[in-house]
Every structure is written in C-alpha cells, then in structure tokens.
Structure 1
Amino acid sequence: MIVLFGSLKTRSEIFTNPLSFPTEPTAQNFPEAYESMNFTQSFINSVLVMVVSVFLIVIFSAMAAYALARMKSKWSTVIYFLCAVLMLVPFQSIMIPLVSLFGRVNLLNRTGLIFMNLGFQSCMSIFLFYGAMKSIPISLDEAAYMDGANIFQIFWRVIFPILKSTTVTVIILTGIRIWNDYLLPSLVVNQEGMYTLPLQMYYFFGEYTIQWELALAGLLLAIIPIILLYMFLQKYIIEGVTEGATK
C-alpha cells in the first residue's frame, strides 16, 4: 500500500507525509516513470530473459531429476545431495571469478544472464522434480516400455505430464526470482538497450537526490506483471512444493 500511495503523490508530499493517503492523487508519475525507464524495451528484455531461462531450467531440471530418480546407483544419490548442498552456496562468494570467466568468452549481457540463471536455479528445481518423481511408480515406465516407447517417449509422454503442479511451482519460484534480480544483471549486462527492469529502476536513484515518486511508480509498473502471473498460477504452488519436498 505504501508503494501504491507513494506513486500517486508528489515528491514534496512523500517527504511530508510518507505513510498517509495522498491528499491530491496524481497519475502523472506513471507516464514519466514509463518514459524515463524506457519501459517497453526493458520489459521486453526482462520477459525474454525470464521466459528463456525458465524454459531451459524446467527442461534440463526435469530431465536431470528423472535420470537421478530412476538410476539405481550410489552416484545418483551423491549427485542429488550435491544439488541440495549447492543451493546453500551464496552467489556473492563466486560472482567475481564467474563474471570474469564469462567475460573472457564473450558470454555477457542477455546470453550470459540466461546461462547463469540456468546454473544457479537448476539445483532447487532438480530438488523439487526429484521429490515429485520419486512418488511416481516405476511400473508406469515399465508399462510404456513394454508398449514400445523409448526412454524419451516415456519421459515426455508419460512422466512429465504428471508433474504439472511441480512444473508450475518451478516456473513461479524461478520466474519471480529472475524477474526481481538486480545483482546478477548489474554485473553481466553492460550494453545499452539490454537492461532489465530492475536495472532501469536504478535510474531514479541519483548521487544527490532520489526521485521517490517516479521510483515508486516505476516499481509498481514492474511488479504488476509478476503479480498477475502469480495470481493466475497460485493454486498449483502449495501442491507442487508439497510434492517436491515431502515425497
């Protein structure tokens, strides 16, 4: 509510009464913030990075989890627990050498950002998919194999459709994190016209002054799409997290 009220105030009113209702609401902040942020291009960049990253994360994580869940060896267990442990590694501890490495091979900006998202978000996704797949009886695989299906057909036509709620949960959790991320894009994106919305939000925070009324309006514009996505898919979240974490 503070963001909504602040986006309808003038700068002087924000400093005078930051927590109160706007006395004279104005919508002028929104077109100014839209133009200052180059919102259309930034929105396209954010959507492109999020959609491609989430698509790759879902595909590779689901396939990796299927292989780990169906393999009967000590290495599958080791790899699974390694994925669980890697979720605890903070990005800040490896960001400098990682960004330096990607810079040497010219994999910065959107391409590098997508690959880094794939690497950092896959462990949690594998963890959720693995738990859900352990609850699916292997007899389904065997029945499909007896009908002549190969391993890829078994996975895509039999197993993956059953994981709908887990897939939606992975989409929501990874999508929100990628959409809101500022630190990683700030290190990877260095080309004009490829900035994401969180990066463009920094435009309102100058060295000597902060345009709070435009910053709050821009923040509201930036969070509306992800809120709508969450509201549309929220019914699957509890079910998916439960399947991936407890079974």
Structure 2
Amino acid sequence: MKRTATRYRNIALEVCAWLLGIIMMLPIYIMIVNSFKGRKEIFTNTFGLPDSWSFAFYAKAMEKMNFLTAFKNSLIVTAISICLIIIFAAMTSWMLVRMNNKLANLILLVFVATMLIPFQSVMIPLMQYMSSWDIPAIGFSMVNTHYGLIFMYIGFGLSMSVFLYHGFIKGVPVALEEAAMIEGCNKWQTFWKIVFPMLIPITMTVGILNLLWIWNDYLLPSLTLSSPTLRTIPLSTFFFFGEFTIQWNLAMAGLVVSIIPVIIFYLFAQKYIIKGVMAGAVK
C-alpha cells in the first residue's frame, strides 16, 4: 500500500514537472514560431506554426539592427567585463578569506549589502557623477564609451561575484598555499598557480551568471551609450519598437538571434553552475 502511494506521488510530481517545464518554455516557443511569420499571420495565428519557414525576416532584422556591429560591441563589452570581474573578485575574495579578521568581515558585509541596492535608485546620480569625469582635452569620457560602460559593469558585478567566490575559497586547503610559499612562490604566484586553478567550477558559475546579465542588459547601456556605432544588441533590438507601431516579426527574429550565443555558452558551461553554487553554499 505504501509502495503504491509512493509510486502515484512520483508520477504526480513528474507530471507537474513536465507541465511546469512546458509553461516555462511557452514564451520561447512563441518567440521562435512568430519570428517566421508576417505581421498579419502573427495576430491571426499566434500560437500555430507558420505557413512557410522563411529566413527573410531574420535577414531583414539583422540588417536593420546592424547586427555585426552590435554583436561585436556586445562581445567586447561582455568579454572584457567578465574577465575583469573574475580577476578582481577572485583576488579580493582570496584575501578576505585568508585575512579572516573583523576588517575582512566588514568588507565582505559591505559587498553583500550593496547587492540589496536597486540599480534604479542610483542610476541618475551615477550618470551625473560619471559625466563629471569628462576630460575633453584628451578625449576621455566615461559616458558614450565602451570603457566607461565596462567600468560600471565591474562595479555592479563585483558584489555577487565576491560573495560566490568567498564561500568557495573557504574549501581550498591552506596547506597547499603554505607548501607553495615554502618552495619559493610569492603571493602572486601562489594565487595564480595554486589557488586559481582550483576555482574553475565557481569561475564558470560567476562567468555564466554575469554573461546572462551583461549580454541581455538594456538599461545601463541605454543610459551610457548614445552613438549608433557603440550600441549593443539589446539597444539595437529597440529599433523594432516604434512610437505608433511595433514590428513584432522582426523583433522576434532579432531576439532569437541575440540569445543564440548565450544558449551556446550555457550548454557548454551548465555542468559547472550548480556544482559551483552548491560547493560555495556548503562550504
């Protein structure tokens, strides 16, 4: 009797899981099928398959988005931001864990506390402050430049990254670092040759989480970048949403193209995400 009840409960849980998965995948299905439809067909047959599977709307969307330029800009900003976030967060977390005193705990608390501050509450003061850094004589500006946007991404991305690294580094044996220093390594060599290679799981986790955020971010680039040649992919897809009309088919095609790189990266890195987060949480 008990075994039968358990079997029915497992079947019910499996059915619920499938239903939940279908519901979560429904927006992606709608986006993909409607990217192949004309404007009239989208409104008359929103959930059905398209009459013809033509990539004409994809070609038109990529042309209107100036996709290659936007893709290059997104790739540059995302790659550099993630690399610098990983480097700074890993080194900071390592020092905080090894110091293990009141000052280190206070610094970690400040990092964690900043995660609770909504970006919308600081975006206007932030842009006013960044605008004051302009030096026209040498062409330096933190606004409407990629390096200015990268600088801000590093600042906003460090809090969560330090928090994740901090929990994981607690499980790195100190004896390995002491043995390396006995062999003649300094702190810099000890970190990069001994500690950092052991942080690959959490590094992949930090990388994919920041990739999903930075690649898809619209608000901060919209405040920072005004030149068309500097716009990222999320800014380029905004061209399909006009004041009086919306080109839904082109917008869907542009969105599908923009999420493909993230999906590919996620498929290669997904095994590290749960592993890294769980290891950091336990330790």
> Could you state the TM-score of these two structures normalised by the residue count of structure 2?
0.86
What secondary structure does 1:89 align onto? coil
Match of 1:104 among 110, 132, 141: 132
* Structure 1 residue 16: Cα displacement: 1.1
- Spell out the pairing of 1:25-174 with structure 2 (5 A cutoff): 25-105=53-133, 106-108=141-143, 109-174=145-210
Q: Which residue number in structure 2 is paired with residue 2 of structure 1?
A: 30
Q: RMSD value over aligned CA atoms?
A: 0.9
Is residue 239 of structure 1 aligned with residue 264 of structure 2? no
Q: Which of 1 and 2 has higher RCO (CA within 8 Å, sep 6+)?
A: 1
Q: Aligned equivalents of 1:224 and 1:201: distance in 2?
A: 14
Q: Are the aligned partners of 1:128 and 1:243 in contact in 2 as well (CA < 8 Å)?
A: no
Residues of 2 paired with 1:104 and 1:123: CA distance? 25
The amino acid that maps onto 1:110 is H
Q: C-alpha distance in 1, partners of 2:157/2:233?
A: 20
Cα drift, residue 24 of structure 1: 2.8
CA contact (8 A) 1:10 1:26 kept: no
Q: Aligned to 1:193, what secondary structure does the other structure show?
A: helix
Tell me how far 1:242 sits from its aligned partner.
Answer: 1.1
Distance 1:40 1:162 in 2: 36
Instruction: Work out whether residues 128 and 244 of structure 1, in 8 Å CA contact, stay in contact via their aligned partners in 2.
Output: yes
Deviation at residue 148 of structure 1 after TM alignment: 1.0
CA distance in 1, matches of 2:274, 2:85: 20
Using the TM superposition, give the Cα deviation of residue 246 of structure 1 relative to its aligned residue in structure 2, in angstroms.
Answer: 2.6
C-alpha contact 1:127 1:244 (8 A) present in aligned 2: no
Q: Secondary structure of the equivalent of 1:164?
A: helix
Equivalents in 1 of 2:62, 2:38: separation in Å?
A: 16
Aligned amino acid, residue 208 of structure 1:
F
Paired position in structure 2 for 1:179: 215
Letter of the aligned partner of 1:174 in structure 2? N
Query: SS in structure 1 opposite 2:54?
Result: coil
* Aligned mates of 1:58, 1:225 — CA distance in 2: 20
Counterpart-to-counterpart distance in 2, 1:71 and 1:139: 15
